[in-house]
Amino acid sequence: MGKPLTKSQITTELSEATGVAKKDVTAILDQLTQLAYDNAKDSFTLPGIGKLVLVDRKARTGRNPATGEPMEIPAGKAVKFRISKACKDAVLGN
């Protein structure tokens, strides 16, 4: 397994593939990121890749890893990313 691509490597790859200036590609990536942040509470889909969703977590009993003593973990919200079937098939080769 290789190292993950950095933002500048992604920008370079997209710039070369599309012929768009790196500065413009960076602006597009930044805007896409902000759009995902702003809309994740309603679910944000990247076609062919996956979906950001906001999920509710129930209150539960956990354990303090240092002492092993039980503790209550309150209910809360979490952001999850669900991978699309097309992405799974492309990456795993099914």
Mark whether 91 and 50 lie in a shared domain: yes
The yes-or-no verdict on residue 2 having pLDDT over 90 is no
Mean pLDDT computed over every residue of the chain: 94
Q: Which two three-digit tokens encode residue 66?
A: 């240092």
pLDDT band at 24 (very low <50, low <70, confident <90, very high): very high
Mark whether 34 and 60 lie in a shared domain: no
Helical (H) or strand (E) element with 31? helix 22-39
The yes-or-no verdict on residue 13 having pLDDT over 90 is yes
Mark whether 28 and 67 lie in a shared domain: no
Mean pLDDT along residues 63-77: 94
pLDDT band at 54 (very low <50, low <70, confident <90, very high): very high
Residue owning tokens 């990247």: 46
Q: At residue 66, what is the residue type?
A: A
Mark whether 30 and 60 lie in a shared domain: no
Q: Which of 9, 25, 41 is the last residue of a domain?
A: 41
The count of domains in the chain is: 2
Domain membership of residue 55 as a residue range = 43-94
The yes-or-no verdict on residue 93 having pLDDT over 90 is no
Q: What is the pLDDT of residues 30-53, one digit of tens each?
A: 999 999 999 999 999 999 999 999
